[in-house]
Amino acid sequence: MTIHCGVLGDPIAHSLSPVLHGAGYAELGLDGWVYDAHRVASGGLGGFLAGLDETWRGLSLTMPLKREAMELVDTVTPRAVLAGAANTLVLSWVDDTRTVAGDNTDIPGATAAIRERYDGPVRRTAIWGGGATAASTLLAAAELGCREFDLLVRDPSRVAETLAAAGRFADSLEIRVGRLGDAVEADLLVSTIPAPPQESLVDSIRSVGVVFEVLYHPWPTPLARWADDEVPLVAGLDLLVHQAAVQFELFTGSRAPLAAMRHAGEAALAARIGETG
């Protein structure tokens, strides 16, 4: 029997998740497993879930589905509750009854990605953007000891869910909500926004110890190019690989072959850059 997993979102054609998970299946000899990308727009997750059968085991979610998923799961992990978002759905079946468990692998993926590239202190973090990924990376920085945050967004009235996630953290976090373009002075700068606005925003950076660019498409982004000359860079592929490894283990029950997954992602990204370069 073929066992299905996949990544859902809109847009989704750029996703490297099928490359990473497919490389993991190949490395471990999981011949019956397949992982595909599926375009699912906002409001469409429930309908997609309704059409799945017992051959399905796991779903990776990207924007705009991470918060929508919280209303559709049967069980949820503490870290997904903390973030108010699930980027991972694990499906299990007993007879014809399906159970959907929600999890958030962005948080452990982000902490691992940061520590892989940077071992310095994270006392103050600035974040560009205020959506579900911003909430997860904020919580990841908090787990690394950060207690002061600048949440810099286009519309400060639309960050209530991210502020609520920060409020659920065990320790008190100091959050200042500002606007994109405000001066950035922080140990860690995280960008969760699309690449085009970054062209003007890099001029607002005054002092940072490390940059975390969560995007990997298109690559390199303006922020990544700036960081490459100035400070250590945590790339979007780093986050993707580490959170995908956690998902892989949740879906398959096997330890993720991290090196093989990373190599496949790097090769695919390099080929993509070569095609556009």
With residue 19 as reference, give the H or E element that holds it. Answer: helix 17-28
Task: Let me know: does 108 contact 243? Beta carbons within 8 Å.
Answer: yes
User: Tokens representing 113?
Assistant: 């990605």
Residue 47: alpha-carbon gap to chain centroid: 23
Q: Which of 4, 21, 57, 66 is catalytic?
A: 66
Q: Which residues contact 141 (CB under 8 A, 6 or more apart)?
A: 110, 114, 122, 125, 149, 188, 190
Q: How far apart are CA 43 and CA 8, in angstroms?
A: 12
Number of H helices, E strands in the chain: 10, 12
| Local structure of 116: helix, strand or coil | helix
> Residues 224-246, buried b or exposed e (16+ Cβ, 10 A)?
bebbeeebbbbbbbbbbbbbbbb
Task: Decide if 66 is catalytic.
Answer: yes
CB count within 10 Å of CB 118 equals: 20
Give catalytic residue positions.
Answer: 66
